[in-house]
Amino acid sequence: MGLESHVGGVKPVAVMAFLVGHAPRIGVHRISHTRIGAQRTHARGYAHQRRCSLRMQQQDESESDSGLNASAGPALAYDHIKVEAHWQQYWQQHGTFRTEPMEALDMSKPKYYVLDMFPYPSGAGLHVGHPEGYTATDIMARYKRMQGFNVMHPMGWDAFGLPAEQYAIQTGTHPAVTTKKNIDRFRSQLQALGFSYDWQRELSTTDVSYYKWTQWIFLQLFKRGLAYQDDVPVNWCPALGTVLANEEVIDGKSERGGYPVERRPMRQWVLKITEYADRLLADLDELDWPESIKDMQRNWIGRSEGAEIVFPVASTGEEKSQSTSTSITVFTTRPETIAGVSYLSVAPEYGELEQLVTPDQREAVNAYCEAARNRSDRERNEASNKTGVWTGSYAVNPFTKAQVPIWVADYVLGGYGTGAVMAVPAHDQRDWAFANAFDLPVIRVITGGGDLSEGAYTGYEGELVNWNGAAGLNLDGTGVASAKAQILEHLEANASLGTKKVNYKLRDWLFSRQRYWGEPFPIVFVDGEARAVPEDELPVQLPNMDNFEPAGTGESPLAKATDWLKAPGGGTRETNTMPQWAGSCWYYLRFIDPDNVGAPIAPELEKYWMPVDLYVGGVEHAVLHLLYARFWHKVLYDCGVVSTKEPFQRLVNQGMILGQVEYTAYRMADSNEYVSATDVDTDNLVLKKGGAAVLAESLDPAQVKKINGTQMVLQSDESISVSARAHKMSKSRGNVVNPDDVIQQFGADALRCYLMFMGPLDQVKPWSTQAVQGMARFLSRVWRLAIDTESVPDAEGNEPLHPLLDNAEPTKEQLRVLHQTIKRISEDTEGLRFNTAIAGMMEFMNAVYKWENRPRAVLEPFVLMLSPYAPHVAEELWARLGHTSSLALQPWPVLDEKYLVVDEITIVLQVNGKVRSKLTIAAGAEESMVVESAMDLEQIQKFTQGKTIRKTIYVPNRLLNIVAN
């Protein structure tokens, strides 16, 4: 799986349908002030964005390019195909965005490392959702270069993995051939968007020079005892012919392909990520990441403090007399509830289960365990219906001495804790559900909560009850926290009963794949013992094979490469390959030093460039790539390879781009009459009242219209509401939009700006092709700020500069507008509020179009500020304005606060609540001066003469209302 993402924000957003008269709101816009744009209220900025867009629409209707539709495409004021191709070629030929190598790098300058989660190059290529995050990082890269930073902005390919291998099996095409073709396609699409990547640093995880160092890192793990082999229950996917990590299994099926997955024991390579659990947890606090992502990692690591308590097992005979021949150790975070234990549950994989099962229960237990093996840990943990079977035996509560039955239940996981739990149905909801299903006792031991017949009380408020002097402790009436502390102290003094313990949900990382297209392990087996390949013999290259079909027995296709299997120094090579996650764990380091043949990265470069300053990608990688990469980075930190504890200082998740809004009407199945969508259960296609069947009918946008600001109805009948919904882009829905088509029709700059203008970066937004046309109109208006499109072009096809453009000194007002814009766009760009930054550019243009002249000293800084967002048209305008070199490295315009000071203000004057005039007066004037000056105006005297002034109401710097009668 590649790390590219168009899946992001988890809340729908009201996306402004600028320049599209009928596009609906699809949700309510909300965003946390701790996320993007903490410095400014988003609602205000978003409303301002909408006002700018509507104003631009009204102005465009009088422009020469008005009246266009999306199918015809915009009549851009310039030839975007010619302009964009020219500047992309210029940047490539001049190495404009090349980051200097170490020998030429000025390390006295500040650095900015901005990184995308690199994509898996699939055969389908990009759709318009993918470039959203890439555009955001490119804007930041360009902006920081202009601010004088050394910028690292690379791109590469997460190219090992199952899709290319599956395609190879189906077609006989070698995965390397397919991968190269797909990479070429992705690269051309990204270059067509004008992203300022340093293409000299391009890498692929399939490059031998790259995976040599992936293998080297694995050897460091192996030498430190962090990589080991173990016989473990694994998620085996017969269709894919490989083992999958727990995170790659969803609802019992493979994440890739949706194939059934079964559990089976296999010998696998495992990475001991649990050794780093505490550090992975603690260091989250130092990261500028969304809290939701940090919480997901905290929950996945699942650190819990509690106790391990030993329950002796009673004999399995009918007399149930206590026996010390065996015992069950359980882990609990709630030792204070031990008096409420009414049964024990062990996992189907519990190691000593055989000793617990009585003869008459053996058949039932075996059948149950067999069924449980084919359910993933996630399914078992989250299932609402609890299942289980009694072993026939009992355990003894070490505190109360009561005998409790021992059950097998698949909601208990063999890999977590001890594989056994003490069940307290009164105070744990899962235990309560199980007890309710099997009619087991529910014993309250903590006061508080409601009726236990309705559910467990899981709170921590209350006092202990029903303790009855267990273990010689008198805890009745003791608060929960105090009781827990006393019980833990008692365990410390009585080691035979148990001990304090910290546990984790996090499991060690299954690291083997039984496939061909992956990194070979640098391991050979000599007499059955795993040995590291000497580092000077790296890389261990993949053999060239024609048959990639998995054997279906758990063996990798590499087992058929007989010559390759024989290691030069003796022994047999490991035939499993590493998972796709291996290459993506450290690619951010290799980008810094991609040509180093002696080490994964030079120490001097690592110390300068790390950590990554801004990392942008999808929220779906919260507990896969991001956790794995953090683990590898910490191992490399311990090895002295890196100097930072964490790889990614700031993380931003871009939101999903949905397909275009789809409109649906509903008809009665029996009469074919329309009914309102608000009356229909749209999931089940029945009326909400009565349950009569209805039929769904897709509508063309021309068949609907908006009323009351938000409601979508039939054009032909406003009483019939229709549903308006945007869906995730997918081939099956036929709503995928190819960026190549958008670029051809509207231009890369229009696509870039539209993606940023749709709404806040981290929110879900629907695509609108018509709205891209609106952004093309915006860029046409930018063009006409400087270029006279009404004049006859010269011999080279270039129109002259606009006659209003001159070299005059800007007025105070013009400088005020310019520096307001510099402040606005600088702050919004820095805060990743790209939508409101573009709104600020629109506001600037609205002001300029009202001026009697357009000073170069004002327009040129604006072109510089536009360039990170629309680099092609900005470069062309810069050149037309007489500059001979690229603007990419020109200094960012400098804000001068003195120009923001307003000397004069305009006060609206009212008489009895009606506007009668306006007054221009010095800023900060006292109220008395404002009133006196207003009363001197003839227009005000006309409405107050002969009347008594009852009072004046003054809103400072805005309004004066004179009440007279």
Type of residue at 228: Y
184-219 exposure pattern, b = at least 16 Cβ within 10 A, e = fewer: ebbbebbbbbbbbbbbebbbbbbbeebbbbbbbbbb
234 and 340 assigned to the same domain: no
Section 204-229 average pLDDT:
98
Residue 21 domain flag? no
Picking from 502, 528, 557, the residue at the C-terminal end of a domain is: 502
pLDDT at site 383: 57
E strands within 744-840?
765-766, 805-806
Mean pLDDT of all residues belonging to the chain: 88
Least confident of 17-26, 43-52, 254-263, 653-662: 17-26
Q: Are residues 542 and 493 in the same domain?
A: no
Is the predicted pLDDT of residue 58 greater than 70, yes or no? no
Tens of pLDDT along 764-788? 999 998 899 999 999 999 999 999 9
User: Is residue 150 in some structural domain?
Assistant: no
pLDDT score for 925? 87
pLDDT band at 374 (very low <50, low <70, confident <90, very high): low
| Cα 135 to Cα 113: distance, rounded to the nearest angstrom | 15
pLDDT value at position 46?
Answer: 44
Contact 730, 660 (CB under 8 A): no
Backbone angles phi, psi at 636, to 5 degrees: -65, -30
Euclidean distance between CA atoms 566 and 359, whole angstroms: 50
- Read off the pLDDT band of 170 (50, 70, 90): confident
Residue 725 and residue 861 in one domain? no
Instruction: For strands 614-617 and 651-653, give the pairing.
Output: parallel
Q: How confident is the model at residue 35 (pLDDT cuts 50, 70, 90)?
A: very low
String of DSSP letters for 545-611: -S-----SSS--GGGG-HHHHB-TTSSEE---B--THHHHTSHHHHTTSTT-SSSSS-HHHHHHHPS
Q: Give domain status of residue 160, yes or no.
A: no
Q: Which of 555, 574, 591 is where one domain is finished?
A: 591
Same domain, 695 and 830: no
Tokens representing 95 are: 């190495």
Total domains in the fold of the chain: 5
Q: Same structural domain for residues 513 and 497? A: no
Does 840 share its domain with 885? yes
pLDDT at res. 459: 94
- State how far the Cα of 863 lies from the Cα of 871, in Å rounded to an integer: 9
Q: What is the pLDDT of residue 376?
A: 63
Give the CB-side neighbour count of residue 508, counting CA atoms within 13 A. 19
Give the model's pLDDT for residue 379. 65
Report whether pLDDT(930) > 90. yes
Name the pLDDT band for 34 (thresholds 50, 70, 90). Answer: very low
The pLDDT value recorded for residue 24 is: 31
Report whether 888 contacts 900 (CB < 8 A). no
CATH (domain of 431) = 3.90.740.10
Residue 524 lies in a domain: yes
- Cα separation, 950 vs 963, in Å, equals 6
Residue 296 sits in the same domain as residue 307 = no
Measured at the alpha carbon of residue 314, what is the angle toward residues 308 and 315, in degrees to the nearest 5? 140
**One-letter amino acid identity for 852?**
E
Could you tell me which of 775, 804, 779, 778 has the C-alpha nearest to residue 790? 804
375 and 242 together in one domain: no
Among 707-721, 745-759, 831-845, whose mean pLDDT is lowest?
707-721
| Residue 302 near residue 506 (C-beta atoms within 8 A) | yes
Give the tens place of pLDDT for each residue, 544-554: 998 888 776 77
556 with 478, same domain: the answer is no
CA dihedral angle for residue 390, residue 391, residue 394, residue 397, rounded to 10 degrees: -70
Which pLDDT does position 902 carry in this prediction? 77
Question: Residue 801: beta bridge partners?
Answer: 787
Contacts of 884 (CB under 8 A, 6+ apart): none
pLDDT range class, residue 238, cuts 50, 70, 90: confident
| pLDDT higher than 80, residue 425 | yes
- Confidence category of residue 3, pLDDT binned at 50, 70, 90: low
Written as six digits, the tokens of 880 are 């037309």
Helix axes 834-848 and 42-60, enclosed angle (nearest 10): 40
Whether 900 shows a pLDDT value over 60: the answer reads yes
Q: How far apart, in whole angstroms, are the C-alpha atoms of residue 930 and residue 920?
A: 9
Identify the domain containing residue 950 by its residue range.
904-964
398 shares a domain with 343: yes
Answer yes or no: is 220 within a domain: yes
Beta bridge partner(s), residue 909: 917, 960
pLDDT in tens, 133-167: 999 999 999 999 999 999 999 999 999 988 888 88
- 274: burial class by Cβ within 10 Å (0-12, 13-18, 19+)? middle
Same domain, 886 and 948: no
875 and 819 together in one domain: yes
CATH number for the domain that contains residue 232:
3.40.50.620
3 state SS of 731: coil
In a domain, 423, yes or no: yes
Q: What is the pLDDT of residue 824?
A: 97
How far apart, in whole angstroms, are the C-alpha atoms of residue 618 and residue 723? 29
Q: Is the pLDDT of residue 300 over 60?
A: yes
b/e per residue 809-825 (b: at least 16 CB within 10 A): ebeeebbbbbbbbbbbb
194 within domain boundaries: no
Answer whether residue 760 shows pLDDT above 50.
yes
Q: Which one of 461, 481, 502 terminates a domain?
A: 502
| CA-wise closest residue to 517 among 865, 178, 934, 256 | 178
pLDDT tops 90 at residue 722: yes
Give the pLDDT band of residue 30 (cuts 50, 70, 90): very low
Which DSSP letter does residue 676 get? -
Band (pLDDT 50/70/90 cuts) for residue 630 is: very high
